[in-house]
Structure 1
């Protein structure tokens, strides 16, 4: 649980803090976030986090690929 809380804290920092979140959702393999200001995102920081295996942007949505089965999960899209 501590590891998950630490990752969440680092992700929050990388997306510009709580006030920058417009919309946030997740599934087992993705954290999806829409933000007010893309300039506040630190994509390089987010990609380097342990537990984050990738980053995808679709439209206004930023997606972090997470989970222990990184390779397999990064190739399998989540149901929306």
Structure 2
């Protein structure tokens, strides 16, 4: 008996918890390709899907968030 394995999507989605976010701006400094800051200093996601070549930068931005408001979720299949 064998188990069928389906390839998992390696695509990641960038998410911001807008309630937890305090507008420190570290995420936009570390990931300017996907994030900018609005006029109040809060991040704006320009593309929620993280390209493979930016995955390491996105992980650093998530780790640098002092209030854990930024996260990476697995993309949908």
> Aligning the two structures, in what range does the TM-score lie when normalised by the shorter sequence?
0.3 to 0.5
Bigger Cα Rg: 2
Greater relative contact order structure (CA < 8 Å, 6+ sep):
2
TM-score, scaled to structure 1: 0.34
* More strand per residue: 1
* More helix per residue: 1
